[in-house]
Amino acid sequence: MRILVTGGAGFIGSNFIRHELSAHPEHQIINLDKLTYAGNLENLRNIENLPNYKFIKGDICDKQLIKSMEFDAIINFAAESHVDRSILDSSPFLQTNIIGTQNLLEASRKKGCRILHVSTDEVYGSIATGSFTENSPLQPNSPYSASKASSDMLAKAYFETYGLDVIITRCSNNYGPYQFPEKLIPLVIYHAVEGKPIPVYGDGKNVRDWIHVMDHCKALDIAFEEGKSGEIYNIGGNNEQENIYIVRMLLKKVAEKTGRKEDELSGLITFVKDRPGHDRRYSIDPSKMEKVLGWKPETSFDKGLSDTIDWYLENKPWWSRIISGEYVYYYKTQYGERDKQ
Ligand code: NAD
Ligand code: DAU
């Protein structure tokens, strides 16, 4: 089977391609990626010469390009993915996440092929108690999550209207190797290493459910191979944590691994103005994935974080190139200056 993987040069997509090529060497992967600031071919160096892997630089919004490509299924990771950026400028989010997805849905419709649309728990909005099931209403609160919710609704509409073979997955916060260092966990690790202030938004008590990226990739593989057309599958780590707890846990581990003093690293924590519209708590109920498709997360948070820190410590050249400006990446937010480079 020839699978068109979009956004495969990003964090989750590149981990997924590596997993897929080893779990299903019979598949061919065509990785279509626009190589925005978040796309990085270095993420795929160790598999780029495999005969069943091919990279194409291109935009999922490009109708002619998608039409000219040959494939038997699509897995759509391509997106603008960072909430803070969507608050500063939502336009690329609407373009890629909505129009780009619609273009891929059309392509699947014309070819009559399966499409797995990779989405997020953020489409459900914030929840004070209990957990989101697949039937929870969509109540997105950021331009990013609103764009993802729109694409989910389009995907569902294509199933209802055209009987498209579509699967939607909604996962919680991923962490692991190759995550772009604007996201909380890699940002804390590299700021600790570099002795930079660590910005904690608001009171630091917002709750996220964290899952190791490899557990997410395995769930996607199963949903793609065995999922039922038109279904939505929640994916989560059963691992809710307050941000400040994660920051402190990371600093403790970085101190142990580098011989630095934990107190010194804790002194880098800087509470800053809150993210506007900051969702207080996400909580995902992944029991459908567990009961129906027999998947469950395997990586403990303690081990997963430890391995992730090791990866960032061992791969400083990877993130140094990113933060050095080879990939343009610095900006001010309206809620306080952060990440001065
Ligand atoms: P990422 O920002 O690391 O990677 C996104 C990739 O998409 C990049 O390689 C980028 O170059 C590419 N891209 C962007 N616009 C494109 C376009 N128009 N055409 C082709 N390629 C384009 O994102 P990620 O964290 O790997 O997330 C991947 C997907 O998973 C996204 O759809 C995101 O919404 C979803 N998701 C992410 C998380 C998370 O915690 N990171 C959790 C749940 C769901
Ligand atoms: O829930 C899934 C989502 O997780 C994905 O759909 C998104 O693509 C992904 O970016 C992530 O969104 P979050 O906004 O939850 O992730 P982020 O790493 O940006 O922030 C995690 C939490 O940490 C959030 O409550 C904001 C807070 N934070 C983040 C940064 C970058 C800080 O306190 N300081 C920071 O510097």
DSSP 241-266: EEHHHHHHHHHHHHHHHHT--HHHHH
Q: Is residue 274 part of a domain?
A: no
Apex 228 CA angle, 79 and 135, nearest 5:
70
Instruction: Compute the distance between CA of residue 227 and CA of residue 295 in angstroms, rounded to an integer.
Output: 11
Note down the domain range covering 105: 2-178+211-236+283-297+327-335
Contacts 24+ apart (CB under 8 A), 186-190: 186/308, 186/312, 186/319, 187/339, 188/246, 188/247, 188/250, 188/251, 189/250, 189/254, 189/308, 189/309, 189/312, 189/313, 190/312, 190/319, 190/323
Q: Is residue 258 part of a domain?
A: no
Q: Is residue 188 part of a domain?
A: no
Count of CB atoms within 10 A of residue 26's CB? Answer: 7
Look up 298 and say whether it is catalytic: no
Work out which ligand 2 atom sits closest to the CA atom of 198: 36
Distance between the two ends of the chain, CA-based, in angstroms?
Answer: 44
Q: Is residue 257 part of a domain?
A: no
Q: To 10 degrees, the CA torsion angle through 142, 146, 148, 153? A: 160
Instruction: Compute the distance between CA of residue 193 and CA of residue 312 in angstroms, rounded to an integer.
Output: 10
State the average pLDDT over residues 132-137.
98
Q: Is residue 37 part of a domain?
A: yes
Q: How far is the CA of 44 from the centre of ligand 2 (A)?
A: 24
State the average pLDDT over residues 277-286.
98
Nearest alpha carbon, ligand 1 atom 12: 7
Whichever domain contains 48, its CATH number is: 3.40.50.720
State whether the beta carbon of 9 lies less than 6 angstroms from ligand 1. yes
pLDDT per position as a tens digit, 59-96: 999 999 999 999 999 999 999 999 999 999 999 999 99
Residue of 229, 228, 81 whose CA lies nearest to 151? 81
Query: For 72, which DSSP code?
Result: S
56 has which bridge partners?
32
* pLDDT attached to residue 327: 52
Q: Is residue 221 part of a domain?
A: yes
Q: 169 and 206 in contact (C-beta within 8 Å)? A: no
Q: How far is the CA of 7 from the centre of ligand 1 (A)?
A: 6
* pLDDT attached to residue 186: 98
What is the pLDDT confidence band of residue 323, given thresholds at 50, 70 and 90?
A: confident
Q: 74 and 104 in contact (C-beta within 8 Å)? A: yes
Q: Is the pLDDT of residue 341 over 80?
A: no
- State CA 181 to chain mean position distance: 12
Q: Is the pLDDT of residue 53 over 70?
A: yes
* pLDDT attached to residue 172: 98
Q: 136 and 103 in contact (C-beta within 8 Å)? A: no
pTM for this entry: 0.97
State the average pLDDT over residues 275-282.
97
Q: Is residue 288 part of a domain?
A: yes
Q: Is the pLDDT of residue 7 over 70?
A: yes
* pLDDT attached to residue 325: 66
Look up 233 and say whether it is catalytic: no
Q: Is residue 134 part of a domain?
A: yes
State the average pLDDT over residues 16-41.
97
State whether the beta carbon of 82 lies less than 6 angstroms from ligand 2. yes
Provide the number of structural domains found in the chain: 1
